[in-house]
Chain A
């Protein structure tokens, strides 16, 4: 009942590699991971690939299938045309270890740097009381299976190795949001911390992360935007700012953001040179080189997304609370013109048609 299908799978390691062609039997109802397993049992016993649950629950089997970041165990073969060649490549944002396995330790380092839950000191175990409505907001983020697909698509680090030290990525923004919204967490500076230490300011709300999340977590709308808004509230509220000037004259201002901003080479303002707004796909020399070495990454620029609007459907007018005059730049305030040529994006008008 099976049919033979054409697969192109990237084989290699950090020293390079290329797409190799395989003809594999594919049966009705199979997913891409089944096909990879069949290859391992037949033509390619040493084909490296991570997986665990085969049910979309562990987030191990992340890879790029026809250029789209996906879980291999949740990508049905029936979503492809019968004569379509299926290309499978490793996650692009992380260094390759071998074949489809990448070194995702970046994410574990960022996890370690994100401040942990701070329990209330005076509530003994067993006495925690929380309402379902209050825990649900954080629970949405705790659905995260740590597949790191969102980290992989985020343009801030996808082609910008240099941003990695200062940017924790969407997975950890929602971790910060989760703790911020946790009814009993006692730390009160989660947003400011995210802004100052995790690089929240780099995010310009392209929503690519939300689009790829297999758990359908509304990373941007429910996590990042509320964090940004409230960070903005506290950070730029002229009254607070004034207050700290007046009442703490001669001392370092108290809000941690302000101080970190003054202190930090790690803050976006000094390193943001390479970041650009809206779309992710800059053609950097490394990507070109990869393309020449035969890797077809199916490079596509994510679609520009409209900025967030308020309940009235208008762009939020934050002049009063903003730290500079006039409305923010539609390109993001972190962009200076002209952009360096290697950071220009070109979305071919017909990129969707092939």
Chain B
């Protein structure tokens, strides 16, 4: 059968999978190092998920507050990640972000400016000083367009020099990679298909950079697009690399769940800060029932008191709607599970009945317009339906911090951006992702190039592996007895959303694993109707197995980690446990079964740990670690 299949072949030095911020920056670096580079992307050039980022890119340039520097940024990042971050990545990120942002200006980026003409920086939760370089609310678009245009300018150079735009860097848009090919433990290439034609394509290359973004499509309610099926995570696993921290996913407590046109869109916290209240389907303002004991003193007990706070915060306690994110999420979750949610599985966020229409429009102009334009929902007249929304995955490919090389049983594989793990620990600070893409994209691209240089001979692609890849890819089209990929995706999303969502319990997680195992059988038999040309059903059928294996990793790790930290909340283990801080959970594949192992976290260097107060460290470290810290401090004092 496979002998008749036409396969287009290409030879490159470095193949970058993903055309978001991380992928493009990696490709630029590999090309600047003189390597013949290919960029592969599931969507059109310039449409990757990075375009959606709004807030900005965090870099301690100190333009707005000169006291800002990399040490402060490093501290904020570690704090945000609850000290589970790979400290070296956080360090490199804090040190190199400013250069990476400035470099973008030389590519033509136009950030908003300060009065003195420097790049303006804005405040963002968790950052001590104003730190986010931004362009209105379309920073991601600016970033991706700038990198895209830099690639074009490199292509123009190549055209002048070699007569062809594609001489040294070529973009393969709307092309999906389904398999990495190995020669022993070395990467030998990547196999995929053109979405437009359904034809197969083989890239032979000694070095591959994964920059495929996240996994959010496995969840019912998500701010992520169809691309986020965890392909890079799954490709890495199957090639012998490890995934770490897969239990940590960032959920936003109030994303829209209805109407469908705005499902997943985030409703900013300021709606609650400005007087918005949460009600269940019975109309009850339920947050008063969910104030944990530790917060009792700071939060109001009656609606009257809470309402007085908005105008007189000094003499009244705060409304419970303003509890920390995870508490709000837990409360919403409990109401929905108790059957008091809306039909779409959320609760009501009501500002309409509490403020005049004029005031709402004045205070929340972009929210108002967004919902009006996208969904014809008038938030000055009706309540919004909100619920927890999956936003970002902290976990990803375990990498060497300096080079981005994947750790595990494979060489020649690199990862950068959301698909890599460790940088953000258990929780990502807003704005740290965009700068992460640039810092580690550049590093991964550069190291992939020098790795390719260092090889005495090119690894070879085995014919059988290509044949197997073709067969796997065509299987869903050739079966007509299986289920529809859309049904399977919905079922997967239901399992992950209901059982491995924002608030987790042991029983539910165990249950999730059973159901995922059942789904695995069904996914193995999926069938797709239609032909090979631009067939979204077929594409989804092929993505499903990636979503599934990544979901298994998340569920397994979430079951194992018996504490709550950052993006992982266990109702049965609500506290943070310093002993768990010393542990990373690492997933790998054996055959096709997910294996979970514990791995100690690398220890922070003395000069870095010395940046923190003892009082702060006491919240995170074990007694032994603290004793060690004291000894260090004493030594430094002498």
- Residue numbers of A with Cβ under 8 A of B are 13, 27-31, 33-34, 40-41, 45-60, 73-74, 76, 78, 97-99, 101, 103-104, 108, 111-112, 114-117, 119, 125-126, 128-132, 135, 138-139, 142-146, 179, 182, 185
> Which residues of chain A have C-beta atoms less than 8 A from B264's C-beta?
54
Query: A60: which of B44, B61, B117, B537 is its contact (CB, 8 Å)?
Result: B44
- Asked if residues B110 and A130 are in contact (CB atoms below 8 Å), the reply is yes
State which of B51, B112, B165, B484 has its C-beta within 8 Å of the C-beta of A58. B51
Q: Which of B46, B113, B529 contacts A130 (CB 8 A)?
A: B113
Residue of B nearest to A32 (CB): B261
Asked if A128 and B105 make an inter-chain contact with CB atoms under 8 angstroms apart, the answer reads: yes
Cβ contacts A to B, 21 pairs, < 8 Å: A29-B261, A31-B374, A40-B537, A41-B490, A45-B529, A46-B528, A50-B43, A52-B48, A57-B52, A60-B47, A76-B261, A98-B534, A99-B534, A108-B45, A112-B155, A125-B102, A126-B98, A128-B105, A138-B110, A142-B135, A145-B51
> Which partner residue on chain A sits nearest B166 by CB separation?
A112
Of the listed stretches B81-89, B137-145, B498-506, B604-612, name the one at the interface; the rest are far from the partner chain: B137-145
A265–B153 Cα gap in the complex (Å)? Answer: 26
Bound Cα distance A31, B102 (Å): 39
Task: Type the 1/0 row for B242-282, where 1 means its CB is closer than 8 Å to any CB of A.
Answer: 00000000000000001111101100000000000000000
A51 to chain B, nearest CB (A): 7
- Whether the Cβ atoms of B112 and A132 lie closer than 8 Å is yes
B628 at interface by CB-CB < 8 Å: no
Given A45-B537, A46-B530, verify A27-B260 contact (CB < 8 Å).
Answer: yes
Contact A30 B141 (CB under 8 A): no
CB within 8 Å of A: which of B142-158?
A: 142, 145, 149-150, 152-153, 155-156
In angstroms, how far is the closest chain A Cβ from the Cβ of B87?
A: 26
Chain B residues whose CB sits within 8 angstroms of the CB of A145 once the complex forms: 51, 141
Minimum CB–CB distance from A71 to chain B (whole Å) comes to 11
B contact residues around A27 at 8 Å (CB): 259-260
The answer on a CB contact under 8 Å between A142 and B225 is: no
**Residues A59 and B165 in contact in the complex (CB < 8 Å), given A78-B376, A116-B156:** no
Closest to A114 in B: B152
Residues of B contacting A129 in the complex (Cβ-Cβ under 8 angstroms): 116-118
Distance from A96 Cβ to chain B, minimum over Cβ atoms (Å): 10
CA distance A60 to B518 in the complex (A): 35
Give min CB distance, A14 to chain B, whole Å: 10
List the 6 shortest-distance A-B pairs measured between CB atoms, nearest first.
A29-B259, A46-B530, A116-B153, A117-B108, A129-B117, A45-B537
Interface of B with A (CB < 8 Å)? 43-49, 51-52, 61, 98-99, 102-103, 105-108, 110-113, 116-118, 120, 135-136, 138, 141-142, 145, 149-150, 152-153, 155-156, 165, 173, 196, 225-227, 258-262, 264-265, 373-377, 484-487, 490, 528-531, 533-538
Nearest CB of B to A207, in Å: 22
Give the distance to chain A from B355, nearest Cβ to Cβ, in Å.
22
Which of B108, B149, B373, B376 has the most chain A CB atoms closer than 10 A to its own CB? B108
- Choose from A41, A45, A52, A112 the contact partner of B528 (Cβ within 8 Å): A45
Q: Give the tally of cross-chain contacts (CB within 8 A).
A: 175
Find B52's partner among A40, A47, A53 (CB 8 Å cutoff): A53
In the docked arrangement, what's the CA distance between A74 and B374, Å? 6
A30-B260, A46-B530 given as contacts; is B138 within 8 A of A57 (CB)? Answer: yes
Alpha-carbon distance between A182 and B109 when the two chains are bound, in angstroms = 10
Report the minimum CB–CB distance from B439 to chain A (whole Å). 14
Chain B contacts for A34, CB-based, 8 A: 260-261
Contact assessment for B373 and A101 in the assembled complex, using a CB-CB cutoff below 8 Å: no
Q: In the complex, what residue of chain B is closest to A45 when comparing beta carbons?
A: B537
Q: A residues within 8 A CB of B99?
A: 125-126
A297 to B530: give the CA distance in the assembly, Å: 26
Whether A54 lies near B225 (C-beta < 8 A) is: yes
State in angstroms the CA–CA spacing of A182 and B146 once bound together.
13
Taking a contact as CB atoms under 8 Å apart, the answer to whether B261 and A97 are in contact is no
In the complex, besides A29-B377, A97-B533, A116-B152, 18 extra interface pairs with C-beta distance below 8 angstroms are: A30-B260, A30-B261, A41-B487, A41-B490, A45-B485, A46-B537, A46-B538, A52-B227, A53-B225, A76-B374, A97-B534, A99-B534, A103-B196, A112-B152, A114-B152, A125-B102, A135-B112, A145-B141
Chain B residues positioned under 8 Å from A73 (CB to CB)? 261, 374
Which residue of chain B lies nearest to A56 when distances are taken between CB atoms in the complex? Answer: B374
Contact B43 A117 (CB under 8 A): no
Contacts of B112 in A (CB 8 A): 132, 135
In the complex, the answer to whether A74 meets B106 with C-beta atoms within 8 Å is no
**Do A142 and B374 have beta carbons less than 8 Å apart?**
no
CA distance A51 to B51 in the complex (A): 13
> Residues of B contacting A58 with CB < 8 Å?
43, 47, 51-52, 225
Decide if A74 touches B373 in the complex (CB within 8 Å).
yes
Indicate if the CB atoms of A29 and B106 lie closer than 8 Å.
Answer: no
B140 — nearest CB in chain A belongs to which residue? A57
- Minimum CB–CB distance from A185 to chain B (whole Å) comes to 8
A128 and B102 within 8 A (CB): yes
Closest Cβ–Cβ distance, residue B110 to chain A (whole Å): 5
